[in-house]
Amino acid sequence: MPVPNPQDKLAVVVLASGEGTNLQAILDCAATGELPVKVHAVISDRSGTPALQCARRADAAAQICAAADYPEREHYDAALSRHIDQYKPGLVVLAGFMRILGGHFVDHYRGRLLNIHPSLLPKYRGLHTHRRVLAAGDREHGCSVHFVTRTLDSGPVIAQIKVKVMPGDSEDTLRARVLRQEHRLYPEVIGWFARGRLRLDDSHVVLDGKRLQSPVMLPAQEQDQ
């Protein structure tokens, strides 16, 4: 894969199923120039999602690749790849894309496919992370950005932000606190990638030429520490 030239804007395609608040954070940082990327397209597996509206407001292509049109997973993944590849992205960003992607798809984008997950991976892979953290009585929680590999939520973790679980937290208050950090974490990591500082080497994260021994821990905003 060519190393991005720092002068160029990296072509990005975002896959999103829902509210699109992470997408919006990325679009905002791209608009200010803080993030040297251009989001060419947002693709959703559902019609009418707020994420698609965010895309249209930012003049990015808003496309739907509906699961119902492709009963076989491989056919869906192939159609999704065709949608994505027409934009020739250097990076594909999963921002609340709530479908499991097959091995061929993941291999095709290996090293240029990122995901954000609302937990301190490897803890709480899968769904309902905030509920599970509360049920376990954990004192801390957070979010992770990782390279996507074939096993769900198990790819090499690049960076994380921790937040405290407060007495009296509900799933909603905890989700909101973690989401605020996601909006800082994802643009930061995408910026590293876009500036050629971050890559996947075999199964290791390499940042600034060094293999990470553990994820980079970024500080939470003061109110959420």
Contact set with ligand GAR (CB under 6 A):
16, 18-22, 95-96, 116-118, 179, 182
Catalytic choice (83, 108, 117, 204) = 117
Q: Which is nearer to ligand GAR, 96 or 155 (CB)?
A: 96
Amino acid at 74: E
Q: Which is nearer to ligand GAR, 20 or 89 (CB)?
A: 20
Q: Which is nearer to ligand GAR, 10 or 148 (CB)?
A: 148
The CB-of-19 to ligand GAR minimum distance in angstroms stands at: 4
Nearest residue (beta carbon) to ligand GAR: 96
Is 117 one of the annotated active-site residues of the chain?
yes
Q: What's 28-69 look like in SS3?
A: HHHHHCCCCEEEEEEEECCCCCHHHHHHHHCCCEEEECCHHH
The CB-of-94 to ligand GAR minimum distance in angstroms stands at: 7
Q: Kindly give the pairing relationship between strand 204-207 and strand 210-211.
A: antiparallel
Q: Which residue has the tokens 């056919």?
A: 75
The CB-of-182 to ligand GAR minimum distance in angstroms stands at: 5
Q: Which is nearer to ligand GAR, 19 or 28 (CB)?
A: 19
The CB-of-22 to ligand GAR minimum distance in angstroms stands at: 3
- Listed residue (179, 180, 177) closest to 168, CA to CA: 177
CA–CA distance, 225 with 37 (Å, rounded to integer): 29
- Long-range contacts of 122-127, Cβ-Cβ distance < 8 Å, separation of 24 or more: 122/154, 122/157, 125/152, 125/153, 125/154, 126/152, 126/153
Q: Report the catalytic residues.
A: 117
